[in-house]
Structure 1
Amino acid sequence: MFKKNVGSLDRILRIVLGVALLAGFVINGASGYGWLYLIGIVPLATGLMSSCPLYSLFGMSTCPMKKD
């Protein structure tokens, strides 16, 4: 599937941020710009998959280097 390029701390932060934004949508979704909370789907998905397309595009990775 996708190459893993999201490290442990980065992954945890993405999941927490995604869940917090989606919770904000549930709590405050009826406001005028409440739909913006749905952007939380992106960090949640990338955190759960351990892969970020933008990291791949720029050649970045927060995964620890493998020791040979």
Structure 2
Amino acid sequence: MQPKIGIKEEHLAAVAHSLSQILADEFVLYTKTKKAHWNVEGPDFYNKHLFFEQQYTQLDDIVDTVAERIRT
């Protein structure tokens, strides 16, 4: 039994498609941020390293939330 969430059946596929596009974009950003975290160099290494770590941690939460919304 599917829960009623207030979205008409004909719109569910469109919503899932939009969320899938958002998920793909967020995952690409997550991956690029993680790569920047691994490869940062220079005199401001520590601050940039921490910044990228915070950013990819937040992006991981976003990716998880969007993926869960697609599954509901």
TM-score (norm 1): 0.54
What is residue 39 of structure 2 aligned with on the other side?
Answer: 27
Q: Does 1:36 align with 2:51?
A: yes
Post-superposition shift, 1:18? 0.8
Unaligned runs of 5+ in 2: 1-15
Tell me the distance in 2 between the aligned counterparts of 1:23 and 1:49: 22
Length, aligned pairs only: 50
Post-superposition shift, 1:32? 3.6
Letter in 1 for 2:30: G
TM-score (norm 2): 0.51
Post-superposition shift, 1:43? 1.6
**Preserved contact between residue 11 and residue 50 of structure 1 (Cα < 8 Å):** yes
As a proportion of its length, which structure holds more helix? 2
Matches within 5 A, 1:1-68: 7-28=19-40, 31-34=45-48, 35-38=50-53, 39-50=55-66
After TM superposition, the runs of 4+ consecutive aligned structure 1 residues lying more than 2 A away are: none
